[in-house]
Structure 1
């Protein structure tokens, strides 16, 4: 597992395309996503991690993509896990857990005090995965349930 650089854009683009295709989500093709990753990975407020299995001919098998943004609550950034994906045939072997643990360590080392994750309410398996790793959909101060709201702005 390693921190990605712009040189990893092609692999990340293909993994993102595979991820979105698997879940029937709108997606750019691999090269389109790769071009976007190349641009994003040159930024200081973006972080991607790549998981690789050496026994699989050095193939990249998963990734985590995070964004970091300023917050008025503390000096370091607020981190958001935008994407976490492991190839379907390799799930259940600890790769996702390792990616998540490394992501937590990386954003913590950058001064972040919180890591946000948006999960679809009906995606019970993913919710259970994050809860097993200490994440909650309850506000830690009030115990109130948290919600994510979205409004598409494109025409």
Structure 2
């Protein structure tokens, strides 16, 4: 069983490397690990961010979760958004993802978050099953649809 704990700014380099591994595994455009680490160092100091790190018995990092919290008009507490959850490929299906998710849920609940949002690509069947097994549901029961994300500039 892995040890799972809340990450601190001291873990920024490790989280940057894990996110780089995650992005390159799935051939997603990414910044270098050192750039990601610098961003993690800045973000982990914020109250609106929660990160969780999984390590094996030797202290080797084997996965992480990263969440953001945002105010919501519909709740007294913030809504949490699971931005990333990653387990190294050779250790998947061993309960590490569940450990990361469980601690993440406890930590955001402690700060009053009543609801967690997770974006999952329609074609990512294994990931969808994982979250459904943990009580998450597609907001349109029984409907499979593409997740659309619109990105645009904040100025002219």
What is the TM-score normalised by the length of structure 1?
A: 0.91
> Shift of the alpha carbon at 1:148?
4.4
Matched, 1:30 2:27: no
The worse-fitting range, judged by mean Cα deviation, of 12-21 and 103-112 is 103-112
**Partner SS for 1:37:** helix
> Shift of the alpha carbon at 1:124?
0.3
Matches within 5 A, 1:1-155: 1-54=4-57, 57-138=58-139, 148-153=147-152
- 5+ residue gaps, structure 2, are none
Distance 1:49 1:15 in 2: 12
Flag as ranges the 4+ runs of structure 1 deviating above 6 A: none
Structure number with the bigger relative contact order (C-alpha 8 A, sep ≥ 6) is 2
What is the TM-score normalised by the length of structure 2?
A: 0.90
- 5+ residue gaps, structure 1, are none
> Shift of the alpha carbon at 1:138?
2.4
Whether the 8 Å CA contact 2:9–2:41 is kept in 1: the answer is yes
> Shift of the alpha carbon at 1:153?
2.2
